Amino acid sequence: MSLLTELFSWWGGNTWSNRLYTRRRGTHVGTDELGNKYYRQNKGVGPLGVPRRWVIYKNGAEASQISPDWHGWMHYTTDTPPTEDTGYRPHPWQKPHRPNMTGTADAYRPQGSILSATGRRPRSTGDYTPWKPE
């Protein structure tokens, strides 16, 4: 992220105030495969009675970029971060994490969508009768 973006935009994720807060009060816990960095509060507790946890996104603030293992840690489902946990191993049938693709070229386009690859809606099968006011 560029210096100007960090200075003048809060929506991009990491700002200077966030950077200072993280440096003073945070301990780096780990980094995921997308480059997001996860932190835990050094001292004290947050509103839930446990130290706060937060993430600094590598490519803009988009919550769907958090993988399932880190999501559990961020939401206090597990106490041990994935970097320290040796018990969890993904099953062979699990697909790799993919962020939300809505609004991109890779978004899901169901059959019949005017945005699908063909660009045309399938013809009606004839079982549809439109409503006509009487």
Q: Would you list the DSSP string of 62-79?
A: -GGGS-HHHHHHHTTS-S
- pLDDT score for 21: 81
* Mean pLDDT computed over 121-126: 65
Structural domain contains residue 117:
no
Structural domain contains residue 119:
no
Which region among 41-50, 57-66, 103-112, 119-128 has the lowest average model confidence (pLDDT)? Answer: 119-128
Predicted confidence band at 127 (pLDDT cuts at 50, 70, 90)? low
Structural domain contains residue 109:
no
Which residue range is the domain that position 44 belongs to? 3-74
Structural domain contains residue 83:
no
Structural domain contains residue 106:
no
Residue with more model confidence, 125 or 31: 31
Predicted confidence band at 62 (pLDDT cuts at 50, 70, 90)? confident
Q: What are phi and psi of 19, to 5 degrees?
A: -65, -45
Q: Are 31 and 37 in contact (CB under 8 A)?
A: yes
Q: How many percent of the chain have pLDDT more than 70?
A: 81
* Mean pLDDT computed over 26-54: 88
- pLDDT score for 31: 92
Q: How many percent of the chain have pLDDT more than 90?
A: 13
Distance between CA atoms of residues 8 and 23, nearest Å: 20
- Taking alpha carbons only, the member of 88, 60, 64 closest to residue 74 is 64
| Type and span of the H or E element at 53 | strand 53-56
Structural domain contains residue 69:
yes
pLDDT at 95 over 70: yes
Structural domain contains residue 133:
no
How is residue 43 annotated by DSSP?
S
Domain count, the chain: 1
Residue with more model confidence, 95 or 11: 95
- pLDDT score for 106: 86
Structural domain contains residue 101:
no
